[in-house]
Every structure is written in C-alpha cells, then in structure tokens.
Structure 1
Amino acid sequence: MVNICLICDFFYPRLGGVEMHIFQLGLCLMERGHKVIIITHKYDNRAGVRYMTNGLKVYYCPFVPAHEQVVLFTYMGSLALLRQILLREEIHVVHSHAATSFFGGELLLHAKSLGYKTVFTDHSLFAFNDAASFHVNKILKFILSEVDHAVSVSHISKENLSMRASLDPRNISVIPNAVDCSRFKPDPSKRYPLNTVNIVVISRLTFRKGVDLLVDVVPTICKRFPQVYFIIGGDGPKKKIIEESIRKHGLTDRVEMLGSVPGHKVREVLVRGHIFLNTSLTEAFCIAIVEAASCGLFVVSTNVGGVVEVLPKNMVNFAKPDPDDICEKLAVAIPIAKNVPSHQYHEQVAKMYSWHMVAERTETVYNKILSSPYPSILGRIKACQSNGPFFGLYLLILLIIDYIAIFILDLIFPFKNLSKPLKFNPEYRVNKEKYGDHQFKVN
C-alpha cells in the first residue's frame, strides 16, 4: 500500500477537469488498496478536514486564494502546516496537479527536502511568447527541476511540458484523462425542444475557451439553419458578451443560457443535444468532448492542442479556430446529427476511457519512483544550478533556507523518525485484506 498525497489549488466545490481528475483518481487509488489524502486551500466557509465519498480525506488549509482560486507563491508560508500533515498521514508520495497551482508547487519543493518522492501532472498547454506564460514556465522549471516523475494527459502536452520545464521526455509519462461513462449514458428521448437540431456548449465562459469565436458562430448558424437551437451552459467573465450578442440579433428564442451547471447535472444538459460544440483556443485533452461523445452527441471542435488525440474520426469534425471554418464544420454535421448512433458511441468511448485504467497506470509510476534511489544534496545543488548562474544561485539560497527551516521545525515540533526517508519494497503487491499494513521501512 502506498500513502499518497494529492495536492492542488483547484478542488471541490470548484468544478472543472482538473478537479474531477483529482477526485476520481483518488477514489480509484483507494479502491486499489492505497491510502489517499487531498490537500487544497480554504474555499469560502469550507475549511479544516472534510470527508468525501468512500472516506476520501480532504484538508482545506487556511490559505486565502489571491486570484482565480490560486494562492500566492510564498514558499515558506505553508511549510510548517504541510510538514505536519505529511508526517501525521505517513505519506510516501506527493503528487501535485496543474502548472498554475503554486500551492502544489510549494509542497513539491518542501517534499524533496523532507525526503518524499514527488510526481507532477500537467493538465494545460502554455505558450512561450507572452509575459504570463513566460513567468509560469520559469517557476515551473524551478519546481520540476527535482521532480521524480512527470505525467501529461496527451502527447502534445508532453512535448509542451518537456520544452517549458526543460525535462527529459523519458521522465514524462502520458496518462490520458478519463470519464465515468456509467454517469454519461445517452437518452435520445430527453432531447428537447423537439423538431430541432440542438447544439450544446458547456464550458467556462473565458477567453481561453474561445467564447469570442462562439459569439460570431451562434448568429451565423442561426441565420443559415432555422431548425438549430443552441443550449449554452457555463459561467465566466465572457458571459455578458454572449448575452449581449443574443439580444442584439434577436435570438432569445433560439439560444438558451443556463448559467453555471453543477457537475451532477451536466449529463441532463448533454442528453438534450444532437451536437456538442467546443471552441477552445487551447486544450491539453478536453474531458468535455469525451463526456459529450459518451452521451451520444456528435462533436465539432477546434483542432487545438491534444484534442486530435481524444476521439476517433467518426465522432468528431475538427475546425480551425476561426468562426468561418467552425460554421462550415457545423454545416456538415447538422444534416447528419439526428442519425448519429448514440448507443454505439457510448460503448466505444466506454472501452477507450476508464478511471481504473488511469489509476493503474499512475500506480505504476509510483512503484517506479519509490524503488529508485533518493537524490543527494549534491544532486539537488546541481539541479538548482541548471536554472542558470543568477536564478540558480537564488534557488540555491532558497534550498538552504528550506533545510534550515525544517531543522528548526524538527526542534520545535519533533516527530519520531521525522527526517528519515521512507523506502519502498517493490516486491510488495496490494492486498486489500492487509489494508493499513504498509511495507515501507525507515532507515
């Protein structure tokens, strides 16, 4: 049994692809006999320790997010609390998610100083030519310079991560996202309004999700095809732009704005449609189109990032991130949308994606890194120097401060076998009858 800590700024009650990935991965790892805890920051009044499905333990730490539910990168501000959590839970592997989760990045750095194995999963694609991406990539390179292994959700994401963080591609595994297809079954009888071709859009209404493209596509398609009806679910800063466009073109009876859609009601919206439209400008994987295909919808999507790797060609039409091309691909899909074999789509997707498969492949990564040697202090110093003469020196100073802070905390809040690394016995196999009897030894 491996004791695993999953950490990210993004988790329930926030809903999204990263949040669902962490939740489902945690549940499936628990089913395989491992101990799993999740660490995130405070969400409104949700603070302290909470228990979710099947006893999944979640620590909502008392850190307030600064922007877009992300806490500031303080480096030392979280060390004392996170150290106590890791020691009390007897964690062996720290697994952080998402490049923009600085909370997770902090723990990856502290975990190496405390003697834990670390894994990072990247869920997004980032550019190299804008200020925001440049700074995120620089911090990510620092954080991942010592990570034991990295995971990407697509091959495109793997290439992107390798270049952004200067990682050896051989140290990055591709483990795609998945969908619980039992929760996304087709039901053509739920499609309404009747006698129309319903196009469903469910996403966060932000620039990255291509809302500016959607604003141009909706009135054009409604004008060309009188039988089309749009169902748009989601919330975000771009919501007002869509609503103004709908009023301007007199489409209030042709477009239904649902607002924010809770996760448990996504399927109720999807089964109403014939076509699912994704206008994202960048996607590493895109779980939304898998959920839509599982519900029996034909997919029209912009051909960006790793989207091309997700579904077979018979389920999707790819378009350039251009309003005219999206409209042309929709024009091809609309006449055939009502004849799509919904149940066949569902069965095909169910065979392709499974959270149990994701958990099994992630478990293989854990076993691999736990059987590898721990890095020496000299190795950590060389990793810092790989970031350049000036930034590398700065990182080396932070590393020294980290060790000093941990030494002081050892004196103030001592734990038995506090600073001794945990070793994994690779010959051990999960045995649910011995749940709780781990096979890890302390030097």
Structure 2
Amino acid sequence: MAPCGSPPAGAGPGMAAGGPARVSHSVCMVSDFFYPNMGGVESHVYQLSQCLIERGHKVLVVTHAYGHRKGVRYLTNGLKVYYLPLKVMYNQSTATTLFHSLPLLRDIFVRERVTVVHAHSSFSAMAHDALFHAKTMGLRTVFTDHSLFGFADVSSVLTNKLLTVSLCDTNHIICVSYTSKENTVLRAALDPRIVSVIPNAVDPTDFTPDPSKRDDGTITIVVVSRLVYRKGIDLLSGIIPELCQKYPELHFLVGGEGPKRIVLEEVRERYQLHDRVRLLGALEHQDVRNVLVQGHIFLNTSLTEAFCMAIVEAASCGLQVVSTKVGGIPEVLPENLIILCEPSVKSLCDGLEKAIAQLRSGTLPSPETVHNKVKTFYTWRNVAERTEKVYDRVANEVVLPMDERLDRLMSHCGPVTGYIFALFAVLNFLFLAFLRWMTPDSLIDVAIDATGPKGAWTKQCFGGKKGGIKEELPSS
C-alpha cells in the first residue's frame, strides 16, 4: 500500500509535518465484513486503518471468525485484528441477541483502551451491537453507511427501523456519497448536521494500465462484481447474447461469484458462447487488476449503489466505463470518463455500442491519460484526513448519560420500538454493571500497543520499519 500522509523522519508520532501536535485516537473498527472476505467494505476498513496508523493513531479491527481464522492476527504495520468466535447467520453477518457480544467487546474496548468505536455497514449485526455497547460504556461512536436502501419492502422497513435505533444517539455518521447521505438521513430520521460525506478511494499503485497490452482485434468487456440480484446480473444475462450476436469480435470476462452465476451459465450454454464468455469465479483482491487490464470496456449493471469502488478501479486501469445511472454512481466519475445508462438491457446495450464505436474510431483517451486523471480524484490519504477530523469532533462531544439516552430512544424511535430498545438499554447497562463487578476494569490486562504513538511492540519487533508485518502472524 502506498504511504498515506505519514510524518517525515524526525517527526514524532501524532505530529503533523511542520505543524502542531494532533490528538491521537485509539480507534476500534467493527464490522462483520473484513478479510479474508472480499468486497468494498472490507477494502475500505483495511485501507482506512492503514492510513490512520501512518497518521499516528492506534487502530484495531474487530470482526467474526472466518473458518479456521480465529483469535488475534497482525496484518501490515501491526494492524491488530480480533476474529471473534461468533456464529454467522446469513451472508457473513453474525446472529445477534444484542447481549451475547458484550463480554467480548467490553474486554477488547478496555484492554485496548479504545476511545472511538467506528462501526461499518448497515448489514453488519456486529457493527450495531458494538455501537449499542460502546454507548453503554460511555465511548464515542462513529458509523459509516456503505449502502442504499428502499423504503417500501418488508426487509427495508425492518432494517430502517433498526438503523433509526442504532443511529439516534450515535455521535457522527459518515456516508460515501451525497445520494447515500440523503438516503440515510431519510431512513434513520437524522439531523443532517451530524452526517458527513467522505467518499471511498482507490490506491492508484494497485490499479495501473498494462503498457505491454497489444491490440489483437478483439474487444473485451470486463465485469467484476458479486453475482447477486442487486448487482443487475439479470440485465447482464440479456446484454451478452444480444451484443455477441451483433459483434463477432466481442468477448466478455466476468469475475465474481454468487447465486446468479447459474443464470450466466445458462445463457452461455443456450447460445453456445463458451469461447466468448469466461466466468472466472471469485477473485482475490490482488488479482483484480490483472483481470481489469485484459479488457477495453468495464460494465457495471448495479440496480442500487452508494458509491461503487469497482468503476474507480476500472477507470484507474484505463478502461472506458459503462454503468447504470443509479444511486451515487453519477457523482463518482466525470462525464468524459463514464457512459451512464438507465438500468435496462436496451439502454446498457446502447451505451456499450457507443463505447465500442469510440474504441474503434480511436477517440478514447489513452489508458495512461485516464489513469493519471483518476489517481488524483480519490486518495486514501484524503479519506484518512477527513475521517480524522470526524474523530476530533466527536472527541469533544459529551457522551449522553443513561437517562438522556433513554429519553432519546423513546422520543426518537416511536412508542413501541423506542420503549423496547430503552428496556434493552437498561438491561445492557445492568449486564455491564454485573460484568464490572465480576471482573473490574482494573483487572483486565492492558494490551501493548502495536500501532499508534505508543507502538513500542512494532518498533521493538520490526525496528520501526515502514510496512511492518508483511504476513499474518498469530498472537503470542
């Protein structure tokens, strides 16, 4: 990963180069979605954590166990990850009873001297649990919403009600686009003043064009996406046969896995397109760039999207992007780097034909030119700096005492839901008091800081070298 605004040699940890000392925070990132699982939230949490570490903050990640990956692992730069033994319910999200995670999370928050709990993703039950417990413990809380939701179907209504409860007394909320902010404010009935927009980013050193690429007369359209309904795979299944029939030189390269893969396999079988449609299956993050540079056009068929990192990565590799005009996508790239279409087979086919015509006529800018533009748009250094300002803001805010928190829940969340969760808050407070009686905070061992201003462990073991641990190591 490229350096993210780390201070120059001689500057102390937590010091801005040539400027006054910054406040150092001890941040706990919490989400069900983290490596080895692949996706936008996972990448966001990891990259943001690395940049915050290089800016002098202590950062750790809490997620659930993935297979045999349990306990504690250390990643690059001493990033500490707790893989907790919690049961997964659906789509990598843990089952929750709200109370079962309190002993584990309380032990981590105390042991690591956490000052800010930063939860990620509306889909993550662990993130909502962590927010609830952190408020009970009097910690500052921040939440980043990475998705868009509707308002009409049953699942959206239930999710939005949960979000209303979870965010009504959260110190600050971050959204990845202005469309996402509007959606979150409406869904959770929030004051817009406590919601900031901080977009995702891409590490340009990971997504560069391939200068050795040669023109062999074929045109390759690349799709890298989870093969699920909301990613518009049904639209893709209608596009492939129509364009393959019209353009004999056209090929499709599809990376990703999911329940909709069978739809693409049926299309490939029905139209005998085995030599022109390649399904690569699940991709490791380090392999995405090597897939992207094999193509000329990147296609995104999402039906809903808050930001869409994939189109930024594709543009950084020099591909012409064709995408549905949904959610926050129109905010991501300038008009000359993306062709926006309605979420229909006809509109997407028209957009792809326009891109093919531009490619044939040679009017598209060179991949290197596109890359040099895109790498200035979104950087993790900028994301970390803006997130740091959010932490500085919430550090100066007063944590609501229990009586005010109960009033907020009952007045903000409705007469039924509000009273139910107010009762949960009281029970959670009593459970915490019981845990503190059984094992006082003073008896919980304080962890040696592997990151941040007091990262003596990393310095002792690795000589303070940038890059730190290049592989995962089990905790001692």
- TM interval, shorter chain, is over 0.9
> Where does 1:4-403 land on structure 2 (aligned, <5 Å)?
4-190=27-213, 194-337=216-359, 339=362, 340=364, 341-385=366-410, 386-403=412-429
Q: Distance in 1 between matches of 2:219 and 2:367?
A: 15
The answer to whether the Cα contact below 8 Å between 1:384 and 1:392 also exists between their aligned partners in 2 is: yes
Answer whether contact 2:57 2:453 (CA < 8 A) is retained: no
Question: Which structure ranks higher in relative contact order (CA pairs < 8 Å, sequence separation ≥ 6)?
Answer: 2
2:89 alignment partner, SS class: coil
Gap change, CA 1:205 and 1:434, over 3 Å in 2:
closer
Percent identity of paired positions between Structure 1 and Structure 2: 47
How far the C-alpha of 1:254 sits from its partner, in A, is 1.2
Whole-angstrom CA distance in 1 between matches of 2:26 and 2:161: 30
Instruction: Name the SS for the 1:245 alignment partner.
Output: helix
Quote how far apart the aligned CAs of 1:250 are: 1.2
Measured after TM superposition, the shift of residue 335 of structure 1 is: 1.9
Q: Does the 8 Å contact 2:232/2:303 carry over to 1?
A: yes
Residues 1:416 and 2:438 are matched in the alignment: no
* Whole-angstrom distance in 1 between the partners of 2:197 and 2:421: 29
Residue 407 (structure 1) aligns with? 433
**What SS class does the counterpart of residue 332 from structure 1 fall into?**
helix
Moved more, 373-382 or 396-405: 373-382
Q: Distance in 2 between matches of 1:106 and 1:232?
A: 36
Partner of 1:422: none
Following TM superposition, by how much is the alpha carbon of 1:435 offset from its aligned partner in structure 2, in angstroms? Answer: 5.8
Instruction: Give, in whole Å, the separation in 1 of the partners of 2:214 and 2:41.
Output: 29
Query: How far has the Cα of 1:189 moved from its partner?
Result: 2.7
Q: How many residues align?
A: 424
Deviates more, 1:42-51 or 1:380-389: 380-389
Query: What's the CA shift string for 1:295-319, capped at 9, x where partnerless?
Result: 0000000000000000011111001
Contact kept, 8 Å, 1:5 with 1:36, in 2: the verdict is yes
Cα distance between partner residues in 2 of 1:113 and 1:124: 26
**Structure 1 residue 257 displacement after superposition:** 1.3
- Give CA deviations for 1:44-77 in whole Å, capped at 9, x if unaligned: 1110000111111000000020111111121001
Please list every run of 5 or more consecutive structure 2 residues that lacks an aligned counterpart in the other structure: 1-23, 445-451, 457-476
For normalisation by structure 2, the TM-score amounts to: 0.87
Cα distance in 2 between the residues matched to 1:190 and 1:326? 26
- C-alpha deviations, 1:377-436, integer Å up to 9, x for none? 232012111211122111111111011001100110111399xxxxxxxxxxxxx87767
Equivalent pair of 1:126/1:133 in contact (CA under 8 Å): yes
TM-score, normalized by length of structure 1?
0.93
**CA deviation map 1:172-221 (0-9, x unaligned):** 000000000111001153367x2111100010000010000000000101
In 1: Cα distance, 2:300 partner to 2:260 partner:
15
| Structure 1 residue 223: Cα displacement | 1.0
Letter in 1 for 2:376: K
Runs of 4+ in 1 over 3 A off after TM superposition: 432-436
Residues 58 and 453 in structure 2, CA contact (< 8 A), matched pair in contact too? no
Separation in structure 1 between the aligned mates of residue 221 and residue 214 of structure 2, nearest angstrom: 11
Q: CA RMSD in A?
A: 1.6
Distance 1:26 1:191, change over 3 A: farther
